[in-house]
Structure 1
Amino acid sequence: MLLRKGSQWFEINRKLAVYIVEDTTFYPKFDEFCKLACYVDEHYFPTMLTIHASNLLANRIGMAISTRPDGDSDRPRGGAHPATFGRADITEEFLKKVLEDQSCLYNNQPSSVCFLFARKFAPSALEPLLLLAPKYFGY
């Protein structure tokens, strides 16, 4: 069974939500065959919607901060979930790396417009982010 991998954070319209809720074909197969490291939000939804309603998907990829699992990040902590970034993590080098490592796509084509999605920041990260944002994000 080939699965499409997507972000666990996404937006859908009402029509796609109805497809998901009404599905009795794809989820039973997903549940049967996908036992290890398979997640409904990252695998089932993108796979089922690509098969059932690909013409309604934006196929957009933007820049993301902190969506790498701990084991894949520069600060490994173990586990399958992203690390939380705190005050000490927010440096100029960190933001340079985020901006250099990203490519943005829209309908599977390179795009000059990138949407930044960030999560897993501790409250202590707010001040350094606000101080560095004008230099790196232009606001």
Structure 2
Amino acid sequence: MFSRILSALFLTIGSLNAIEALAASCQVSTRSLSQKIPAVVTQSCYTYRGIEEGAIKWSCSDETLGMLEHEKKLVDNCPSNYLSSCTSTLTQESLASHRAISDIKTGTPMVIPDGAKIVTYFYSVEEKEQAKQDCTALGGNWQNNQNN
């Protein structure tokens, strides 16, 4: 009986680790903590391209910045029913986490490969023109989803 319980426990732990290992995107829900400061984007999802697997885990954690609260969740992929997307160069700043600028074990700076990108998909946007301007002002490429 004990061995069956132990086997089930190891199987469950292994499954959770496999799910986390597969997570390659971060789903974000944003809400304003004040009616006077609206959230520009309320539902989005981002993924990294051209960087080591697992790097997204460093930036995909809940945070509150000013009057905006961001709830983040690791997911396998961003859903395909997005309204628009922004593709830009991945930088230390766009990793959006102080833990992302160094390797936790060694303390050495994380090297971002040339050509690495961050792709943000937008699902619910309160101010689309502002989101587009924020994307392009930083050198990003804005695209509307032709399927939506």
User: Which TM-score applies when normalising by structure 1?
Assistant: 0.32
Greater per-residue helix proportion? 1
Greater per-residue strand proportion? 2
